[in-house]
Amino acid sequence: MAGRGKTPAITPELLLKAYASGIFPMAEASDDPQIFWVDPTERGILPLDGLHLPRSLRKVIRKEPFTVRVDTAFAAVVDGCAEPAPGRENTWINRQIRDLYIALFREGFAHSVECWEGEVLVGGLYGVSINGAFFGESMFSRKTDASKIALAFLCERLIRGGYLLLDTQFITSHLAQFGAVEIDRDEYHALLGQALSVAATFYPAGAGTAESVLQLFSQTS
């Protein structure tokens, strides 16, 4: 269950306040101009102190099938997440949402993790960053395991950067493989408050290589 409220056009500043208050925006469909606020009674998170990297994915990461980059193609990642996919004929990313997150990216409050095959973007994810909280928005894959690899690299970056919260909004089987859980609204707000009270960096030294990801997960899994 989630509380919803229709809203007129919003600003990037209002969007940041919404995240800091525990709510986030969605649209019914990519061609629906309206946005509504979502405040789930049960919230999905990936506990950064209890992550699990599946053994099969470790083997894939070790082979380095993709080049992983950060913040080099943010708009393209959002567009990839908005594409129809098997089992997902439409998405909640409409034009207004796209523009809002690109504005947050330009202001330094949103980031993308991208998987590249040569010069072709084959998968990735994006989200919003406020102090020690990262709010994962969406991910996509055009090649097998691309979004999973992007998520592993994101988690490493957040842990090394001092983040306390990785908000996934909802739970999917994809996220459950990494240890995602649901918590109630009150517990979420308590974690959010703690995360917003600490400083963190999305660009920690030593992060972002297959070796550094595998090394970290060997210590945490």
Residue 173 confidence (pLDDT): 85
Residue 5 confidence (pLDDT): 47
First to last CA, the chain: 32
CA distances from 112 to 69, 121, 129 (A): 8, 12, 11
Note whether 2 and 41 are within 8 A (CB).
yes
Q: Where are the domains of the chain?
A: 42-220
Per-residue pLDDT of the chain (221 residues; tens, 9 = 90+): 344 444 456 899 999 999 999 999 887 776 777 888 999 999 999 999 988 999 999 999 999 999 999 999 999 999 999 887 665 556 767 888 899 999 999 999 999 999 999 999 999 999 999 999 999 999 999 999 999 999 999 999 999 999 999 999 989 888 999 999 999 999 999 999 999 999 999 999 999 999 999 999 887 65
Residue 33 confidence (pLDDT): 72
- CATH fold of 42-220 reads Aminopeptidase (3.40.630)
CA distances from 118 to 122, 164, 213 (A): 10, 33, 21
Residue 89 confidence (pLDDT): 56
CA 31 to chain centre: 23
Q: Using alpha carbons, select from 213, 97, 195, 211 the residue that is nearest to residue 153.
A: 213
Model confidence, pTM: 0.91
